[in-house]
């Protein structure tokens, strides 16, 4: 009798188990997609960039004439550079030696693929964006997490979340039309579009992410931290400044890193608002050309497979690796530290 | 003591000021773009083609292109994102390597720059799959799939927006109380039945939010489609997957930076930017509202 019972139970569950098995494994298989995408991105961006590592590259068949990407005053400098280089094309292959040059002139007689000015450009714009955006975002997060009334908080939070929905092309457009004109008239700048304008515009793009992560970090500080502090007689702002803030520092650091990563990879704002001249100077009022904007501006005009194409993919691979490392640090190191601190280890 | 009080007050005021600056900047951008384009914002502008070398007429094809792009994109990214979220919230064990791999991938994916997705679309979809399909299916040596088109651009965009869906849906699934799951299981339903009949229906609003956020993101991004399918001007609307398409964001970019007479089309540019802004803005507004209501419901 007991045997029979077990049998019927078995057969019952087995009938269901097939569909269960199918469902679970289909779901598992589909969810593998995101991992597959990462691998595919890695493989295919690097695949197109690999010819750099073996410079057997034949000389590019058609070198389209420099169609200036930059517009207005800003193009003067770069096109002058293009005409002045006329030495023989012995170093056409994108060897590492070529990549470490100090100039970026991909469409001249003797193409130069120096990544340095582009890297400096990216760094310059990103740091400016952090300098403008981070203080505003962190202060706003402090206000809405620690001081604001519930009603006020319910306005600030969604409003800044809405700012995140601004397409970067619209922010770039706003920078190009309004911010650039404003700064030029205020500071009397020679170049309307420059790193400064781009940096300020990009601050709008990173404020939401820095704000959100900082706010999360501040609200994640356990209640007993502030209760203990208040019980000891500290005021509300003393608690905020000397208890909650220090406890949330790793989170704020993570917010900054994420903002940095976001800004470093941002394309459209910089493409539209920085003037796009590949100069390696540290003057923040001169135009810059960033790594991301270079890809965006030049990829449409290169011949598939030639050196220029390969170098652009190499820049993409670099961007991928750099943002990957920054995000990984933010994700693993900082979060782990934050958790540890709250558990009091 | 007095000094302390002053310091305390000033911290509150400075931080409040920062929040105020951000919000007024947001309002200012909106107003500035609205005022710049308000003379062009007519029904005709939305429903007619560009005329006279883009210096007049409307943006109808750009709107159609954007809508087609996000439609095909969501067909790809919403199911994948939802199913991944179901796995992460219902099946995954926290400690398994597979789960860690997926989580790692989702986190990484949301940090990859948009332009790298564009390169990936070019290298993978166009140069690898598209060119491969041309070689396998056609013998005329011409390009059919191995060139930028609507399908490749949409799929590239889908890859970019998958993490948006995953994060949003997973959050919704996690807010479904465990009592409901236990109730389903206790009545004899299997795990899959419980998920299908109880967990998913209870988090439909989360799935909606995810889809809306993804669509908003996809409508606004330009970098991923720059070299995977967008075109500056097309005489006719796209009618098959291998056609190129126009796009609102790209339209703004090209008109503002590469047209021969930027001044003459300024109004059109502002109006286009306003339309795009309103589109993404209202989408994410709806998403925020749904999410807010949902959270309230869960709390109650």
Per-residue model confidence (pLDDT) at position A249: 87
- Closest-CA residue in chain B for A327? B111
Interface size, chain A vs chain B, as Cβ–Cβ contacts under 8 Å: 271
Question: Per-domain residue ranges for chain A?
Answer: 116-343
- Closest-CA residue in chain A for B288? A158
- Closest-CA residue in chain B for A294? B115
Structure tokens given for B241 = 């997957």
Per-residue model confidence (pLDDT) at position A203: 95
Per-residue model confidence (pLDDT) at position B260: 72
If you average pLDDT over residues B197-220, what whole number do you get?
Answer: 91
A332 in B contact zone (CB under 8 Å): no
The whole-angstrom separation of Cα B112 and Cα A292 is 12
| Beta bridge partners of residue A105, listed in sequence order | A112
* Residue B134 neighbours by CB distance under 10 Å: 18
Per-residue model confidence (pLDDT) at position A267: 92
SS3 B148: coil
Three-class HEC string of chain A: CHHHHHHHHHHHHHHHHHHHHHHHHHHHHHHCHHHHHHHHHHHHHHHHHHHHCCCCCCCCCCCCCCCCCCCHHHHHHHHHHHHHCCCCCCCCCCCHHHHCCCCEECCCCCCEECCHHHHHHHHHHHHHHHHHHHHHHHHHHHHHHHHCCHHHHHHHHHHHHHHCCCCHHHHHHHHHHHHHHHHHHHHCCCCCCCHHHHHHHHHHHHHHHHHHHHHHHHHHCCHHHHHHHHHCCCCHHHHHHHHHHHHHHHHHHHHHHHHHHHHHHCCHHHHHHCECCCCCCCCCCCCECCHHHHHHHHHHHCCCCCHHHHHHHHHHHHHHHHHHHHHHHHHHHHHHHHHHHHHCC
Residues of chain A contacting residue B216, judged by C-beta atoms under 8 Å apart = 165
Average pLDDT of chain B is 89
Question: Per-domain residue ranges for chain B?
Answer: 38-299
CATH topology for A116-343 is MetI-like fold (1.10.3720)
A40 in B contact zone (CB under 8 Å): yes
The whole-angstrom separation of Cα B114 and Cα A337 is 29
Q: Where are the alpha helices (DSSP H) in chain B?
A: 2-37, 43-47, 60-86, 97-111, 114-120, 131-137, 150-175, 178-186, 191-194, 200-202, 204-220, 248-257, 266-299
Do the Cβ atoms of B190 and A16 come within 8 Å?
yes
Give contacts of A 6-25 with B, CB under 8 A. 16, 19-20, 23-24
If you average pLDDT over residues B228-238, what whole number do you get?
Answer: 86
Q: Model confidence at B151, in pLDDT bands (50, 70, 90)?
A: very high
Do the Cβ atoms of B249 and A167 come within 8 Å?
yes
The whole-angstrom separation of Cα A208 and Cα A211 is 5
- Closest-CA residue in chain B for A329? B108
DSSP single-letter state for residue B92: -
Give backbone dihedrals phi and psi of B233, rounded to 5 degrees, phi first. Answer: -145, 135
By Cβ distance, the residue of A156, A172, A331 closest to B107 is A331
pLDDT top residue among B233 and B84: B84
Kindly report the nearest CA distance between residue B239 and chain A, in angstroms: 23
Give backbone dihedrals phi and psi of B177, rounded to 5 degrees, phi first. Answer: -65, 145
Per-residue model confidence (pLDDT) at position A344: 56
pLDDT tens-digit map of A220-261:
888 888 899 999 988 888 888 889 988 888 889 989 999 999
If you average pLDDT over residues B238-250, what whole number do you get?
Answer: 90
- ipTM of this predicted structure: 0.91
Give contacts of A 155-214 with B, CB under 8 A. 155-156, 158-174, 176-178, 204, 207, 211
Give backbone dihedrals phi and psi of A113, rounded to 5 degrees, phi first. Answer: -115, 45
Taking the domain B38-299, which CATH number applies? 1.10.3720.10
pLDDT top residue among B1 and A34: A34
**Mutate which of B120, B187, B225, B290 to disrupt the A interface (most A C-beta within 10 Å)?**
B120
* Residue B10 neighbours by CB distance under 10 Å: 11
Do the Cβ atoms of B102 and A32 come within 8 Å?
yes
Structure tokens given for A313 = 């993919």
| CA–centroid distance for A287 within its chain | 20
List the Cα angle B162/B165/B166 in 5-degree steps: 85
Give contacts of A 207-266 with B, CB under 8 A. 207, 211, 235-238, 240-241, 258, 261-262, 264-266
Do the Cβ atoms of A20 and B190 come within 8 Å?
yes
Do the Cβ atoms of A139 and B162 come within 8 Å?
no
Structure tokens given for A126 = 């990103």
Q: CB pairs under 8 A, 24+ apart, for A291-294?
A: A291/A115, A291/A118, A291/A119, A291/A121, A291/A122, A291/A315, A291/A318, A291/A319, A292/A122, A292/A264, A292/A265, A292/A266, A292/A267, A292/A319, A292/B113, A292/B115, A292/B223, A293/A121, A293/A267, A294/A104, A294/A118
Per-residue model confidence (pLDDT) at position A16: 56
Residues of chain B contacting residue A140, judged by C-beta atoms under 8 Å apart = 15, 18-19, 22
- Closest-CA residue in chain A for B230? A300
The whole-angstrom separation of Cα A74 and Cα A82 is 14
Residues in chain A predicted with pLDDT less than 70, given as ranges, are 1-16, 54-97, 335, 338-345
Do the Cβ atoms of A30 and B84 come within 8 Å?
yes
- Closest-CA residue in chain B for A272? B257
Per-residue model confidence (pLDDT) at position A139: 95
Q: In 3D, which of A313, A106, A311 has the Cα closest to residue B119?
A: A313
pLDDT tens-digit map of A102-154:
778 777 777 778 888 889 889 999 999 999 999 999 999 999 998 888 899 98
């Amino acid at each position: 009798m007991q045997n029979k019972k077990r049998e019927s139970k078995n057969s019952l569950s087995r009938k269901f188990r097939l569909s269960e098995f199918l469902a679970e494994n289909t779901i598992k298989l589909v969810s593998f997609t995101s991992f597959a995408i990462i691998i595919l991105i890695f493989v295919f961006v690097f695949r197109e960039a690999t010819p750099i590592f073996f410079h057997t590259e034949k000389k590019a068949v058609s070198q389209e004439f420099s169609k200036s990407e930059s517009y207005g005053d800003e193009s003067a400098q770069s096109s002058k550079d293009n005409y002045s280089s006329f030495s023989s094309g012995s170093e056409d292959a994108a060897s590492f030696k070529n990549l470490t040059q100090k100039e970026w002139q991909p469409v001249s007689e003797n193409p130069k693929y120096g990544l340095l000015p582009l890297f400096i450009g990216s760094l310059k714009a990103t740091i400016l964006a952090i300098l403008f955006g981070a203080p505003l975002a962190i202060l706003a997060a402090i206000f809405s997490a620690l001081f604001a009334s519930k009603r006020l908080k319910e306005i600030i939070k969604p409003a800044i979340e809405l700012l995140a929905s601004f397409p970067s092309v619209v922010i770039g457009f706003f920078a190009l039309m309004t911010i650039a004109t404003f700064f030029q008239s205020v500071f009397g700048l020679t170049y309307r579009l420059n790193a400064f304008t781009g940096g300020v515009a990009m601050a709008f793009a990173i404020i939401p992410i820095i704000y959100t992560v900082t706010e999360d970090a501040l609200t994640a500080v356990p209640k007993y931290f502030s209760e203990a502090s208040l019980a000891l007689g500290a005021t509300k702002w003393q608690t905020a400044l000397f208890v909650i803030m220090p406890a949330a520092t790793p989170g704020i650091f993570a917010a900054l890193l994420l903002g940095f990563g976001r800004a470093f990879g941002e394309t459209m704002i910089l493409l539209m608002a920085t003037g796009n001249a590949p100069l390696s100077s540290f003057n923040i009022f001169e135009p810059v050309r960033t790594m991301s904007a270079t890809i965006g501006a030049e990829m449409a005009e290169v011949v598939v497979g030639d050196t220029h194409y390969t170098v652009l993919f190499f820049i993409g691979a670099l961007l991928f690796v750099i943002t990957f490392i920054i995000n990984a640090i933010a994700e693993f190191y900082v979060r782990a530290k934050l958790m540890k601190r709250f558990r009091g280890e | 003591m007095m000094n302390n009080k002053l310091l305390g007050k000033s911290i509150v005021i400075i931080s409040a000021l920062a929040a105020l600056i951000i919000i007024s900047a947001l309002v200012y951008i909106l107003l500035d773009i609205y005022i710049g384009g308000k003379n062009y914002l007519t029904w005709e502008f939305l429903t007619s083609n560009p005329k006279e070398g883009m210096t007049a007429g409307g943006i109808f094809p750009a709107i159609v292109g954007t809508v087609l792009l996000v439609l095909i994109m969501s067909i790809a990214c919403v199911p994948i994102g939802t199913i991944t979220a179901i796995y992460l919230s219902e099946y995954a064990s926290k400690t398994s390597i597979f789960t860690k791999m997926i989580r790692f991938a989702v986190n990484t994916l949301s940090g990859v720059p948009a332009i790298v997705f564009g390169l990936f679309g070019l290298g993978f979809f166009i140069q690898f799959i598209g060119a491969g399909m041309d070689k396998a299916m056609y013998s005329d040596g011409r390009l059919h799939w191995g060139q930028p088109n609507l399908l490749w651009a949409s799929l590239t965009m889908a890859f970019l927006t998958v993490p948006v869906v995953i994060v949003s849906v997973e959050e919704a699934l996690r807010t479904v109380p465990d009592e409901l799951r236990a109730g389903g299981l206790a009545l004899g339903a299997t795990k899959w039945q419980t998920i299908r009949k109880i967990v998913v229906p209870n988090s439909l609003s989360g799935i909606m939010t995810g889809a809306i956020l993804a669509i908003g993101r996809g409508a606004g991004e330009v970098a991923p489609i720059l070299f995977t399918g967008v075109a500056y001007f097309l005489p006719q609307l796209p009618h098959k997957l291998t056609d190129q398409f126009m796009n609102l964001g790209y339209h703004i970019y090209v008109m503002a930076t590469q047209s021969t007479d930027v001044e003459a089309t300024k109004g059109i540019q502002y109006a286009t930017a306003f339309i795009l802004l309103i589109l993404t803005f209202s989408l994410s507004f709806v998403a925020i509202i749904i999410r807010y209501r949902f959270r309230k419901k869960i709390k109650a």
